[in-house]
Amino acid sequence: MPQITNIVASFGDGQVVAEVDYNDANLALTKGRIRNTSLFPAFFEAVLDAGDRFGFTCPANTNRTVNIPNNTYFYSRDEEGNLSLVGITLHSTWPA
């Protein structure tokens, strides 16, 4: 069950990068991460269509990794192997 990292947003010429890690076996999102080398905080949020939310703020000049609640957010894989987020919106803002 390898963990794979996807970049989901990048701001300020790469000063702020938002990432998610997921389990390649069951496609569950496992971690959210912001790498922030800017002078301002950044925010990351995952929202399910059902209304559940998970989010965090990353202070300026900080990297922050947060565990995503188990078995809550999943990628979907189509017959061609492409990944998508069905019923999930990932949102990141900078400055927060």
Question: 3-30, pLDDT tens digit by residue?
Answer: 999 999 999 999 999 999 999 999 999 9
CA 15-18-21 angle, to 5 degrees, is 140
- Separation CA 48–CA 34 (nearest Å): 20
Query: How much is the pLDDT for 66?
Result: 94
- Separation CA 65–CA 71 (nearest Å): 18
Q: What is the pLDDT of residues 23-66, one digit of tens each?
A: 999 999 999 999 999 999 999 998 988 888 889 999 999 999 99
pLDDT tier for residue 1 given thresholds of 50, 70 and 90: low
* Nearest in space to 90 (alpha carbons), one of 21, 29, 8, 30: 8
CA dihedral 37, 43, 44, 46 (to 10 degrees): 180
Please state the domain count of the chain. Answer: 1
Choice between 79 and 71, residue whose per-residue pLDDT is larger: 79
CATH of the domain at 58: 2.60.40
| C-alpha radius of gyration, the chain, whole number | 13
Domain span at residue 75 reads 3-93
Instruction: Report yes or no: 24 and 8 within 8 Å, Cβ to Cβ.
Output: no
* pTM for the whole structure: 0.87
